[in-house]
Chains A and B, each alone.
Chain A
Amino acid sequence: MPASELKKGSAEFLILSLLEKRARHGYEISKLIESRSKGALRFNVASLYPLLYRLEDRGWVQAKWVETPGQRRRRYYRLTAEGKKVLLAEQRTWDEFVRAVRRVIAPEYA
Chain B
Amino acid sequence: MRDWRPLVRQRLASLDLDPTSEADIVEELAAHLDDRMRELTAQGMTPEAAEVALLADGLDDEALSAALASHRKHRRTIVPLGGEDRRHGLIRGLVGDMRYAATALRKRPGLTSIALLTLAIGIGVNAAIFAFVHALLLRPLPYANPEQLVTFWGTAPDKGLPVVNYPDGLYAYYSKRLRSVQPMAMYAGGSFTLSGRGDAERLDGAYPTADFFRVLGAAPLLGRMFLATEHTEGGSRVVILSYRLWQRRFSSDSAIIGSSLTLDNQPMTVVGVMRPGFEFPNRSSLWTPLVINPQSLNCWCYDAIGRLVPGATPESMALEVDAINADFWAEREGRPRRPPSPDRSGTVVRALSRTLTGEVNQPLLLLLSAAGIVLLIACANLANLLLASTSDRQREIAVRCSLGASPRRIVRQLLMECVLLSLGGALLGLTLAAFAVRAGSAFVLERAPHVQRIGVDPLLLVFTAAITIVTCLLVGAVPAIKGAAISVASALKQGVRSTGDKGTRRLNDTFVVAQIALSLMLLVGAGLLLRSFSNVLGIDPGFRAENVTVGRISLPWTTYGNAPAIHTFAARLETSLRAVPGFSTVGLSSTAPFSSNNNQQNMRVQGKEPSAGEPIPVASVRAVSDAYFSAVGTPVLMGRAFNETDRRDSAPVAIIDQSVATRYWPQASPIGAKIAIGGDENLRWRTIVGVVATIRHQQLDRAPDHYVYEPLFQEARLTLDIVVRSPLASSEVVSTMRRAVRDIDPGVPVYAAHTLGDAINESLATRRLTNTLMLCFALTAVLLAALGIFGVIARQVAARVKEFGVRLALGATPVAVVALVVRRGAALVFIGIALGVAGAISLAGFLRTLLFDVTSVDPATYALAPLLLATVALVACWLPARRATSADPLDALRAE
B58 close to A45 (CB less than 8 A): yes
Measured between alpha carbons, how far is A49 from B78 in the docked complex, in Å? Answer: 18
Chain A nearest CB from B353 CB (Å) reads 60
A49 touches B31 (CB 8 A): no
**A46 touching B28 by the CB < 8 A rule?**
no
The residues of A that contact B31 with a CB separation of less than 8 Å are: 25-27, 72, 74-75
Q: Does B235 contact A (CB under 8 A)?
A: no
Of A26, A45, A57, A73, the most chain B CB neighbours within 10 A belong to A45
Nearest chain B CB to A71's CB is how many angstroms away?
10
Given A50-B70, A57-B71, A85 contacting B64 (CB threshold 8 A): no
Say yes or no: is A10 at the interface (Cβ < 8 Å to chain B).
no
User: In B411-440, which residues have CB < 8 Å from any A CB?
Assistant: none
Instruction: Specify which chain B residues have a CB less than 8 angstroms from the CB of A85 in the assembled complex.
Output: 82-83, 404
B residues less than 8 Å from A44 (CB atoms): 57-59
Q: Mark A42-55, 1 if CB is under 8 A from B, else 0.
A: 00111111100110
| List of B residues within 8 angstroms of A81 by Cβ | 85-87
B67 within 8 A of A: yes
| Nearest chain A CB to B435 CB, angstrom units | 44
Task: Label chain B's interface by main secondary structure.
Answer: helix
A33 within 8 A of B: no
Are A59 and B58 also in contact (CB < 8 A) when A50-B67, A54-B74, A75-B28 are? no
CB atoms of B71 and A53 under 8 A apart: yes
Bound-state Cα–Cα, A49 to B31, Å: 12
Chain A residue at smallest Cβ distance from B70: A50
| Residues on A with beta carbons closer than 8 Å to the beta carbon of B82 | 58-59, 82, 85
Bound CA span A30–B28, Å? 13
A86 close to B (CB within 8 Å)? yes
Chain B positions 612-651 with a Cβ under 8 Å from a chain A Cβ: none
* Residue picked from B24, B27, B31, most chain A C-beta under 10 Å: B31
- A75 → chain B closest CB, angstroms: 5
Q: Is the CB of B70 within 8 A of A54?
A: yes
Residue contact B58 to A53, C-beta cutoff 8 Å: no
The interface residues of chain A lying within 8 Å CB-to-CB of B27 are 73, 75
A38→B85 CA distance, assembly (Å): 38
- Segment of B32-40, B311-319, B333-341 engaged in the interface with chain A: B32-40
Contact of A45 among B64, B75, B404 (CB under 8 A): B64
Q: Does B579 contact A (CB under 8 A)?
A: no
Kindly identify, within residues 80 to 102 of chain A, every residue whose CB is under 8 Å from any CB belonging to chain B: 81-82, 85-86, 89
| B85-A82 in contact (CB<8A) | yes
Residue B114 lies at the interface, judged by CB distance under 8 Å to chain A: no
B485 within 8 A of A: no
Residues of B within 8 A of A30 (CB): 32
Contact of A49 among B25, B35, B36, B404 (CB under 8 A): B25
Chain A residue numbers with a CB within 8 Å of B33 are 45
A81 to B67, CA, bound (A): 27
A48 to B25, CA, bound (A): 12
Whether B80 lies near A46 (C-beta < 8 A) is no
Cβ of B163 under 8 Å from chain A: no
When the two chains form their complex, are residues B83 and A46 in contact, meaning their CB atoms are under 8 A apart?
no
Contact across chains for B67 and A57 when beta carbons are under 8 A apart: no
The verdict on B90 contacting chain A, using a C-beta distance below 8 Å, is no
Q: At the interface, yes or no: B403 with Cβ under 8 Å from chain A?
A: yes
B153–chain A nearest beta-carbon distance, Å: 74
Contacts of A58 in B (CB 8 A): 80, 82, 403
User: Which of B34, B58, B83 is the one whose CB lies under 8 Å from A82?
Assistant: B83
Chain B, Cβ-Cβ closest to A49 = B29
Residues of B contacting A49 with CB < 8 Å?
25, 28-29, 32, 67-68
Contact of A57 with B74 at beta-carbon distance under 8 Å, contacts A26-B32, A82-B83 already known:
yes
Complexed CA–CA distance, A50 and B28 (Å): 12
What residues of chain B lie closer than 8 Å to A65, measured between beta carbons?
24
Question: Within the complex, what minimum Cβ distance (angstroms) separates A36 from chain B?
Answer: 16
Residue B63, interface by CB 8 Å: yes
- Given A45-B64, A47-B67, A82-B82: A27 and B35 interface contact (C-beta under 8 Å): yes
Q: In the complex, what residues of A have CB within 8 A of residue B83's CB?
A: 82, 85
Q: How many Å lie between the Cα of A27 and that of B38 in the bound state?
A: 12
A86 to B80, CA, bound (A): 14
Q: Which residues of A contact B64 (CB under 8 A)?
A: 45-46
Q: Pick the contact of B58: A46, A74, A75 (CB < 8 A).
A: A46
CB distance B36 to A53 under 8 Å? no
Most chain B Cβ neighbours within 10 Å, of A30, A48, A57: A57
Q: With both chains docked as a complex, state the minimum distance between the C-beta of B502 and any C-beta of chain A, in angstroms.
A: 33
Distance of A86 Cα from B31 Cα, bound (Å): 29
A53: which B residues are within 8 A, CB to CB? 25, 68, 71, 74
Which residues of B lie under 8 Å from residue A75 when comparing CB positions? 24, 27-28, 31
For A73, the chain B residues whose CB sits under 8 A away are 27
CB distance from B78 to the nearest CB of A (A): 6
**A-side contacts of B35, CB under 8 Å:** 27
Q: A27–B32 contact, CB under 8 A? A: yes
Other than A30-B32, A54-B71, give 8 A-B pairs with Cβ distance below 8 A. A27-B31, A44-B59, A50-B71, A57-B75, A58-B403, A65-B24, A75-B27, A86-B403
* Residues of chain A having any CB pair with chain B under 8 Å: 25-27, 30, 44-50, 53-54, 57-59, 65, 72-75, 81-82, 85-86, 89
Pairs A–B under 8 Å by Cβ, sample size 7: A26-B32, A47-B67, A57-B71, A74-B28, A85-B82, A85-B83, A86-B404
A-B CB proximity, top 10 nearest: A46-B58, A44-B58, A59-B80, A50-B67, A46-B63, A27-B35, A53-B71, A44-B57, A57-B74, A46-B64
